Amino acid sequence: MHLEGDEKEEKFNRLDQVLAVYGRDPEQLIRVLQEAQHIFGYLPEEVQAYISHKMDIPVSAVNGVVTFYALFSTEPKGKYNVNVCLGTACYVQGAQKIYDTFRDQLGLKDSDTTEDMLFTVRSSRCLGACGLAPVITVNEDVHGKLTARDVAELIGRYKKKEAAGEKDEGQELTRPGDYQELSSPGS
Amino acid sequence: MRVRNLQDLEIIKNCHLPDLNVRLGIASADGYQVLCCTGTGCSSSGSKSVIKALNHHIKSQGLQDRVRVYKTGCFGFCKMGPILLVHPGQVFYCLVSEKDTEDLVVQHFKRGQIVERLLYKEPAEHKTHLHMRDIPFFQAQMRIALRNCGLINPEVIGEYIANDGYFALYDVIHNKKPQEVIEIISKSGLRGRGGGGFPTGKKWAFTAQAKDFPKYVVCNADEGDPGAFMDRSILEGDPHSVLEAMAIAGYSIGANQGIIYVRAEYPIAIKRLELAIRQAREMGLLGSRLFDSEFSFDIDLRLGAGAFVCGEETALLKSAMGQRGEPRPRPPFPAVCGFRNKPTLLNNVETYANVPIILRKGWAWYAAMGTETCKGTKVFSIAGKINNTGLIEVPMGTTLRTIIYDIGGGIPGGRAFKAVQTGGPSGGVIPAHLLDTPIDYESLSQAGSMMGSGGLIVMDETDCMVDIAKFYLQFSQDESCGKCTPCRIGTKRMLEIMERITQGKGEMKDLEELEELAGDIKDASLCGLGQTAPNPVLSTLRFFREEYIAHVRDKTCPAGVCRELTDFVVDPAKCISCGICAKACGVGAISGEKKKPFYIDRQKCIKCGACQARCPKEAIFKAAMGGEVTDANKPGDNRTAYPTP
């Protein structure tokens, strides 16, 4: 973890709040991990070990769940998460090319994240917006009906946003942290 | 308020009924109601900013007492989003953008004139349609599971009640025995819409018979099939029908707790479900002692974390308990040993969405629709190479031709239909000569495919069937949980063979080996994912064997898809001799001079595609290796002709 004292403490405090709500129920492990990933951006070993200790689940079992699901990442992610849908509808409309173009233009070979930690490019299986195929998401923004030609402009748009120091928009959709107050934990 | 009896429910219904009647065309009104789709498709096309702008202009024109804007679920016609439906009159505006809103407000809502340019135009006949009901896309449809999508505001429980929501639940709790409810569901002929097609009534009866307690009702909303989004649209457009159905199911089998397992990739659906559950709890329609009876029922959400195998029932239940979503052998079936090792009823979203209306209208009404063995309707999502992508609902037994040509509007670019893929990674392709197959569970499996959850991906002549089969195999291989060897290693070996074939390194004996491996994997895998993983390969081998042979023997890809077996070619008619491609080429394979079309040397070309990406006129395309460049294999321009089937 490359976190400094205060920031780290603040994040673990937030994790403690999540654990206070869900931590007693081992059935809520996936929920806790989702919230933890939302707080830390990814799930480093230290966080997995902490959750294991607090929820009294063997760390091997926690790690087993983390590595099983595609949503969890054990590597830090960039600020802008590009997720290219490679579902069938998008694939037949040329999504593979869009994915390749993104990786090419950002110079990604073995890693998913650019060195400046700005972009992470990954693919996912069907976002359920097949009517707009091919579709990508950048954080919570959805971009549909794309061609490989739009890639350079999109990258430029986010780089410009970053240079201008704007705050990331598109927070209207729910993120794991937003609905904990709505639902009663467990059953 | 807390709903305690039928009178309370009627009061809420009557509050919202006048609005609903205007939308249903039963009553006329003084002002306007504007329904705007806020499903995933339209939201991504900007429906949120359209709503914002509409409200702004309505206010600045002083029309806020006469015009009201409502958020609704999916109309199904995703391609034309954002969509606005204006009542009275059912005026259908499509592809509305923020800057159109001022015109709409001034012209339509202030002066009462239709904004012609925003109406739907049929591409071929240049016919403009004013009303939603006249548009061919909607005409052949019958919306039962989708009855509320696009009609009510999914975020307001009162609108659901106004369309007779929760009345079936009241009736069941106070007037029917659990056994009677199960009989009605059995007689209706409803079968599992998740893909398997198991009779729903039978499943309910099995779980009801189980002696262990407590029991659970689980909803499978882990729609992992690539190309399917019907569950998502139901959850986003009509979450209460799922909640009501689960409560009815709970009453019938003797359960007090429901769990909805929903994909984390569906944020809008999750938000609407959370809201719906909260509203239902506040009104006492979920929670303890519903309608002042002895029956209590509550629902919780569990979020999936992106594993396709979790759509399989035993894997889903494991995942819902916070563990790795690995399947286990059956029996015991979930009806005996499921969630928390207790008897569990597990149905799909679409199956539940049918339940309340069956109980309101009776089993005979439902059983009158569909075919001999498959009753009712089915929701399909149509996508791929088709003019009208979107979500549709048709009676069982409708032919593929009706769906693709009448509702879907045919294939874009005037190209030829090649095949339709159904059932996702577990299904197969159906070629053109079977287009008149009436679709139900049996006829699709006879054609070597399956219903699956209802995703239809249409493919045209520029799609390579070998590549598509490889795509699905890659998917199954990635998503294999790894627990059983035939699935984990078998699909890997099959994929290696498919990769060799698409790279031009295949041999004829590979085809036999593929078939042999496929048989072994089908027989020996533990769960449905592995048992059906070879289907896309088997089905393409059955109907498009000549395409495999072209790849293996002739070392060419007729559709012009597989990189190693195609050439990059310049279309002389489109080339403007700008020379950008030659500069982009790293190996100097492109040459040319001013005013003459450029030329790519097939020997030097390393097929990196840099030239194609840079060409400003889209004059460079891929063609079958060594083949002639004809009009048929050129990439499509944007003609939208409707070919006659």
B311 vs B627 pLDDT, higher one: B311
B616 at A interface, C-beta within 8 A: no
What CA–CA distances, in Å, run from A51 to A58, B227, B493?
Answer: 10, 36, 38
CB < 8 Å to A88, chain B: 226-227, 383-384, 421, 424, 455, 457, 468, 471-472
Predicted pLDDT of residue B252: 98
Residue A88: count of CB within 10 angstroms of its CB:
30
> In Å, how far is B87's CA from the nearest CA of chain A?
25
pLDDT (average), residues B220-245: 94
Cβ within 8 Å of A, B 121-160 = none
- In SS3 terms, B54-112 reads as HHHHHHHCCCCCCEEEEEECCCCCHHHCCCEEEECCCEEECCCCHHHHHHHHHHHHHCC
Q: Which residue has the higher pLDDT, A180 or B29?
A: B29
- Nearest by CB to residue B78, choosing from A132, A140, A149, is A132
Q: Spell out the residues 6+ positions from residue B28 whose beta carbon is closer than 8 angstroms to its own.
A: B22, B88
At B360 the pLDDT is: 97
User: At CA A18, angle to CA A13 and CA A24, rounded to 5?
Assistant: 120
Backbone phi and psi for residue B125, each to the nearest 5 degrees, phi listed first:
-95, 0
Over residues B479-484, the mean pLDDT reads: 94
Contacts of A182 in chain B (CB under 8 A): 274-275, 277-278
More confident residue, B394 or B608: B394
Which pLDDT belongs to residue B287? 97
> Does residue B272 sit at the A interface (CB-CB below 8 Å)?
no
Q: What percent of chain A has pLDDT over 70?
A: 86
CB within 8 Å: A88 and B457: yes
**Start-end of H helices in B228-312:** 230-237, 239-253, 267-282
Residues 130 to 169 of A: which have CB under 8 A from any B CB? 130-133, 135, 140, 142-144, 148-149
Write down the residue that tokens 């998008």 correspond to: A90
Nearest Cα neighbor of B234 from B317, B148, B355, B334 is B148
Q: Does an H or E element contain B513, and which?
A: helix B508-524
Tell if the CB–CB gap between B267 and A173 is shorter than 8 Å. Answer: yes
Q: Indicate the residue type of B366.
A: Y
Percent of chain A with pLDDT over 90: 68
Average confidence (pLDDT) over B377-405: 95
Residues of B in contact with A31 (CB under 8 A): 302-303, 322
Long-range contacts for B521-525 (Cβ within 8 Å, ≥24 apart)? B521/B486, B521/B487, B521/B490, B521/B491, B521/B494, B523/B486, B524/B484, B524/B485, B524/B486, B524/B490, B525/B484, B525/B486, B525/B487, B525/B490
What's the confidence (pLDDT) of residue B255? 98
Coil, helix or strand at residue B334: coil
B322 interfaces chain A, CB cutoff of 8 Å: yes
In angstroms, the first-to-last Cα distance of chain A is: 34
**pLDDT per residue over B528-585, tens digit each?**
999 999 999 999 999 999 999 999 999 999 998 998 899 888 988 889 999 899 998 9
pLDDT of residue A143 exceeding 70:
yes
Q: Does A28 touch chain B (CB under 8 A)?
A: yes
The pLDDT of residue B236 is above 60: yes
CB contact under 8 A, A34 and B303: yes
**Closest approach of chain B CAs to the CA of A2, in angstroms?**
26
CB contact under 8 A, B267 and A140: yes
- Rounded-to-integer distance, Cα A176 and Cα A144, Å: 24
pLDDT at residue B630 greater than cutoff 80? no
Please compute Rg for chain A using Cα positions.
Answer: 18
pLDDT at residue A26, rounded to an integer = 94
Instruction: State ipTM.
Output: 0.87
Can you tell me whether residue B455 is helix, strand or coil? Answer: strand
Taking CA–CA distances from B229, the nearest residue in chain A reads: A128
Residues of chain A contacting residue B305, judged by C-beta atoms under 8 Å apart: 30, 33-34, 69-72
Are the C-beta atoms of residues B96 and B51 closer than 8 Å to each other? no
pLDDT above 50 (res A170): no
pLDDT at A183 over 50: no
Task: Test A184 with B300 for CB contact under 8 angstroms.
Answer: yes
* Average pLDDT score over residue span B174-191: 97
**B389/A89 touch (CB, cutoff 8 Å), yes or no:** yes
DSSP state of B191: B
B146: closest CA among B53, B244, B89, B75? B75
pLDDT for B641 equals 31
Give residue B532's identity as a one-letter amino acid code: T
CB-closest option in A33, A87, A172 to B226: A87
Report CB contact under 8 Å: A128, B389: no
Contacts of B449 (CB under 8 A, 6+ apart): B421, B422, B423, B427, B428, B429, B430, B535, B539
Looking at residue B644, what is its pLDDT?
Answer: 32
Residues of A in contact with B472 (CB under 8 A): 88
Query: Is pLDDT above 80 for B244?
Result: yes
pLDDT of residue A3: 64
Mean pLDDT value of segment B585-606: 88
* B chain contacts of residue A71, beta-carbon cutoff 8 Å: 264, 305-306
A137-A139-A144 Cα angle (round to 5): 20
pTM of this prediction exceeds 0.95 = no
Query: Where are the strands (E) in B359-427, listed by range?
Result: 377-384, 390-395, 417-422
**Nearest residue of A to residue B308, measured between CA atoms:** A125
Q: Is residue B642 very low, low, confident or very high in pLDDT (cuts 50, 70, 90)?
A: very low
pLDDT of residue B160: 97
What mean pLDDT do residues B44-56 have? 92
Q: Which of A102, A126, A145, A182 to mutate to test the interface with B (most CBs of B within 10 A)?
A: A126
A160: CB partners within 8 A, 6+ apart: none
B positions 64-103 inside 8 Å of A (CB): 78-79, 81
| pLDDT value for B635 | 47
Contact A73, A112 (CB under 8 A): no
Q: With a cut of 70, say whether residue B147 has pLDDT above it.
A: yes
The pLDDT of residue A29 is 96
pLDDT bucket at A169, cuts 50 / 70 / 90: very low
Tell me the C-alpha to C-alpha distance, in Å, between residue B325 and each of A125, B259, B480.
Answer: 17, 16, 11
pLDDT at B200: 98
**Residue B393 pLDDT grade (very low, low, confident, very high; cuts 50, 70, 90):** very high
Dihedrals phi, psi of B429, to nearest 5 degrees: -105, 150
β-pair partners for B417: B460
d(CA B497, CA B509): 10
> What pLDDT, on the 0 to 100 scale, is given for residue A50?
97
Across B205-209, B220-224, B528-532, B601-605, least confident range: B601-605
Q: Is B277 on the interface with A (CB under 8 A)?
A: yes
Average pLDDT, chain B: 92
Quote the DSSP letter at residue B402: I
What would the DSSP string read from start to end of B5-46?
A: SHHHHHHHHHHHHHHHHHHTTSS--SSEEEEEE-SHHHHHTT
Which pLDDT score is estimated for A1? 52
Predicted confidence band of residue B407 (pLDDT cuts 50, 70, 90): very high
Interface test with A, best of B155, B265, B617 (most A CBs within 10 A): B265
Residue A6 distance to chain B (closest CA, Å): 30
The per-residue pLDDT for A179 is 35
Crossing angle (nearest 10°) for helices B535-543 and B508-524: 140
Query: How many of the other CB atoms lie within 10 Å of CB of B373?
Result: 14
Q: What pLDDT, in 10s, does the model give residues B159-172?
A: 999 999 999 999 99
Residue B346: per-residue pLDDT: 97
* Average pLDDT score over residue span B12-16: 96
Q: How far is A185 from chain B (nearest CA, A)?
A: 8
Q: In the predicted model, is pLDDT for residue B638 greater than 70?
A: no
Residue range B89-104: average pLDDT? 93
Q: Closest chain A residue to B299 measured between Cα atoms?
A: A187
Predicted pLDDT at B126: 76
pLDDT band at A175 (very low <50, low <70, confident <90, very high): very low
CB pairs under 8 A between A and B: 165
Residue A128 touches partner B, C-beta closer than 8 Å: yes
Tell me how crowded residue B287 is: count the other CB atoms within 10 A of its CB.
Answer: 15
Closest CA to A143 of B386, B475, B40: B40
Among A33, A91, A181, the residue to mutate for chain B (most B Cβ within 10 A): A91
pLDDT of residue B636: 43
Closest-CA distance, A88 to chain B, in angstroms, reads: 6
Compute the average pLDDT of residues B282-311: 95
Q: pLDDT tens digit string along A28-40? A: 999 999 999 999 9
* Cross-chain residue pair B232–A128, CB shorter than 8 Å: yes
Q: Which residues of A touch B386 (CB under 8 A)?
A: none
Q: Do B306 and A124 touch (CB under 8 A)?
A: yes
- Give the closest residue to B325 by CA, choosing from B465, B529, B573, B522: B529
Would you say residue A176 has pLDDT above 70?
A: no
Report how far residue B166's alpha carbon sits from residue B286's, in angstroms, rounded to the nearest whole number.
11
CA–CA dist B378, B392 (Å, integer)? 8
Q: Does pLDDT of B121 surpass 50?
A: yes
Beta strand ranges found along B96-248 (DSSP E): 120-121, 128-129, 216-221
Nearest Cα neighbor of B406 from B385, B379, B386, B433 is B386
